[in-house]
Each structure stands twice: as structure tokens, then as C-alpha cells.
């Protein structure tokens, strides 16, 4: 399949994680993504490690978020580079950037000029704290944002604010950006005009607070970190059994009654009669459950729970996840041919269409790998006047 966004051209001026994650998702959907990188340096994540792999020292961080893209080197501070970017903008459908606020303006490409060059262009702009407000334009990486957005205060053991093991603020911002781009492209089918979609790492995490947010906004209760437990449901979290730990999600009364019978508890015990009762007596409930679970192994309990339809699971390490047959059956592990590393495995797209993956996969590109082919494509699209000007500029230096 070519993918639902086949024919859409995305100009990717972003770097690090939030923007590249968004453009990778668009590429997975079939868009042509042209990644613009600084000559000789490229995206910062090319140098982020360990681990690095292969004789060339390729960063696995970079490999994680740049599949299905083309890379061109472009010096946006040079006249030649800005000319090439101008030509790219004319033929793009989407532009994605996560520069500090004002940088794109200083390079000579404010929004007004971008839309003058291409009225149908959809622009996705991702910032740290937002594009305006008292701290608009303030820089911030994911770890900083996890603290500032409140997510660390509800993560980890009680009294020990903890960062998540994933760059969740960046990833959520990228996904929100994709949602905005798709909506703007759809609206363009009616109006013929593009628009600016703005989001931020702060907005992404605050927007994902969900029930933790309304605990404060409605109930005026400040959520606290409670480890692996759930603030409103019990039993829901990790529990010790004979040979390790398993997870349980007993989230309604029907599940509780089936669960209690399986582990040998009285489902009508008045101490634990309702979800509210069980949450109020969480410590006592956990002790009671773990005493019962000590009678058998994790594998034994998981088999029983699966047969009874009780949500339960193991806690897998990352390597176990990628070797798991279920993961591979969902095309969540893909194989690509890398120019330097040969055949490698990468995480795959989480989406399928009509039961199939959206498109064929290509490896994350080497720096500037597609510069010549992209310039040739531009030349084939340019008007005679544009082509003549581009040829004159090209004599002045590197694109």
C-alpha cells in the first residue's frame, strides 16, 4: 500500500524528538518527508549516545525516530540555502518546525512569507512552553517539561517524584501535532488554504492529565505519587506472587467477583464490597491479595486470569517485548536495509489500514543522502524562471 497520505509532501525543519516523531508518523502514513539538516552536523540526535552501532558509530536514538524520510543538507543561513528552502516551500503541503520562537522569522521565513509563497501550506510549530504567554519561547527539553507540567509529581514511589522512562512530553507533542496537521489538511480540501497549527510540550502533558487534572480542577484535591497503584481503582497495580511480580487491573464489580473467587477470597467481604471500599482500604487489600497469590507462580496465576478474562499481565523488559510473538504479529518490529549497518530491526508504526501496514519501510537516512535527488526533483517542478534563478544561485555555494 502507498499509504493514505500518498502525494503529501512534508518539509521537516525540526530536530531532536517532538518534531521528528511527528514527521515520522506522517511518513508512516505515506507522506514524502524531506528532512532538512545542517551541513556536516545534521540533527543533534545523530550524536546522541551511547549506544552507537557499526563502524560509523550510528546513534540508535536517531534511528528510532527517522524512518521513511529523505535527508538533505541545507545551510539556512546562506543565500543559496534560503533560495532552495523557498523552492521547497512552494512545492510542499506541510512544514514542520520546532525552532526557538522567532528563529524562523530571523531566517527570513515568517508565517506571512511562507503563506505568500504557498497559500495552501500547513505549518506545524512545536515549542516547549508555548508560543506566547509570560514564559512563551522559554526553552525546555522533555525532562524539564515532565517536572514543570506536574507529571513527575504523580509518578514514582510516594514522596519521590520520578521522571518517566520515555520522553513522554516530546512524544505526546508530536502526536498532537500530527492530529492538528491532519485536521488542517482536511480543512484545506474545503477552503484551499493552509493554516498554522501550534502545540507545545507543556500543552501535550497538561492535555494528558485526564483524571489527575480534574482531581484538582473540580475536587480541589492535589494528586500525589502512589507508585504503581491507581488513585481511583483497586486492586489495580503490581502484586507479588510466589516467584515474582504481576500486574492486575480489576476495574469493575463483575471483574472483582470473578477475581475474588479465583484467588480464594470472599467477593462479598464487606471490607472490599465496592471500588470505593477497596480504594479506601488499599494497603489491607494488597496484603490480603498478596497472601493469596503466594500460593502459586506468576505463570500459574496469569493462566487462570486469562481463562477467566481478568486483565492481568507480566512486567516485561524491553528485549522481551521485541522478542514477544504478539509484538511481532502486529508489525511492531520492522526490518530495513541501512546503507551502513545492513539489515536492522526498528520499532514499527502502531497503525494498520485494512489489516496491512501503511507503506514499505526505508531506513533512517544518512546525513544528506538525498540532497541530489531532491534538488533534481525540485528542478523538474520549477518554472523556467525559478529554474534559471536556482541555477545561478547554485554556483554560489553549497545548497
- CA-nearest of 239, 228, 299, 230 to 265 is 239
- CA-nearest of 297, 295, 288 to 250 is 288
- CA-nearest of 398, 333, 362, 367 to 56 is 367
**Whole-angstrom distance, CA of residue 368 vs CA of residue 361:** 19
Query: Is residue 170 annotated as part of the catalytic site, yes or no?
Result: yes
Exactly one of 43, 170, 229, 393 is catalytic; name it: 170
**Whole-angstrom distance, CA of residue 296 vs CA of residue 173:** 43
Q: Rounded to the nearest 5 degrees, what angle is found at the Cα of 209, between the Cα atoms of 207 and 249?
A: 135
163 grid coordinates: 521522571
How far, CA to CA in Å, does 33 sit from each of 7, 192, 331? 10, 21, 21
Backbone angles phi, psi at 91, to 5 degrees: -110, 5
Strands 333-338 and 342-347: antiparallel
| Catalytic residue IDs | 170
Amino acid at each position: 500500500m502507498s499509504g493514505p497520505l500518498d502525494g503529501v509532501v512534508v518539509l521537516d525543519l525540526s530536530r531532536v524528538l517532538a518534531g521528528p516523531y511527528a514527521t515520522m508518523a506522517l511518513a508512516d502514513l505515506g507522506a514524502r518527508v524531506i528532512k532538512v539538516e545542517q551541513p556536516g552536523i545534521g540533527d543533534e540526535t545523530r550524536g546522541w549516545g551511547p549506544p552507537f552501532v557499526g563502524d560509523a558509530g550510528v546513534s540508535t536514538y536517531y534511528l528510532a525516530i527517522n524512518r521513511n524520510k529523505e535527508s538533505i543538507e541545507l545551510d539556512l543561513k546562506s543565500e543559496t540555502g534560503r533560495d532552495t528552502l523557498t523552492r521547497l516551500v512552494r512545492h510542499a503541503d506541510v512544514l514542520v518546525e520546532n525552532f526557538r520562537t522567532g528563529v524562523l522569522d530571523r531566517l527570513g521565513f515568517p508565517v506571512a512569507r511562507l503563506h505568500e509563497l504557498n497559500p495552501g501550506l500547513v505549518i506545524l510549530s512545536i515549542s516547549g512552553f508555548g508560543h506566547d504567554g509570560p514564559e512563551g519561547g522559554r526553552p525546555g527539553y522533555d525532562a524539564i517539561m515532565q517536572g514543570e507540567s506536574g507529571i513527575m509529581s504523580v509518578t514514582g514511589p510516594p514522596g519521590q517524584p520520578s521522571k518517566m522512562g520515555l520522553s513522554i512530553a516530546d512524544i505526546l507533542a508530536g502526536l498532537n501535532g500530527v492530529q492538528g496537521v491532519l485536521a488542517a489538511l482536511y480543512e484545506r480540501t474545503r477552503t484551499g488554504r493552509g493554516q498554522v497549527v501550534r502545540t507545545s510540550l507543556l500543552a501535550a502533558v497538561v492535555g494528558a492529565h485526564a483524571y489527575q487534572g480534574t482531581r484538582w480542577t473540580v475536587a480541589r484535591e492535589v494528586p500525589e505519587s502512589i507508585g504503581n497503584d491507581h488513585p481511583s481503582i483497586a486492586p489495580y497495580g503490581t502484586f507479588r506472587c510466589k516467584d515474582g511480580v504481576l500486574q492486575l487491573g480489576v476495574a469493575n464489580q463483575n471483574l472483582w467477583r470473578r477475581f475474588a473467587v479465583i484467588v480464594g477470597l470472599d467477593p462479598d467481604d464487606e471490607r472490599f464490597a465496592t471500588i470505593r471500599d477497596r480504594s479506601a482500604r488499599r494497603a489491607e487489600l494488597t496484603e490480603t491479595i498478596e497472601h493469596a497469590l503466594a500460593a502459586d507462580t506468576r505463570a500459574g496465576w496469569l493462566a487462570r486470569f486469562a481463562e477467566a478474562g481478568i486483565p492481568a499481565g507480566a512486567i516485561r523488559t524491553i528485549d522481551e517485548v521485541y522478542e514477544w510473538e504478539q509484538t511481532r504479529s502486529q508489525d511492531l518490529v520492522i526490518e530495513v536495509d541501512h546503507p551502513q549497518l545492513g539489515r536492522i530491526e526498528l520499532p514499527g508504526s502502531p497503525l494498520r489500514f485494512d489489516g496491512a501496514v501503511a507503506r514499505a519501510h526505508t531506513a533512517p537516512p544518512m546525513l544528506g543522502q538525498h540532497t541530489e535527488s531532491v534538488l533534481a526533483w525540485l528542478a523538474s517542478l520549477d518554472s523556467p524562471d525559478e529554474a534559471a534563478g536556482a541555477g545561478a544561485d547554485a554556483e554560489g555555494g553549497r545548497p
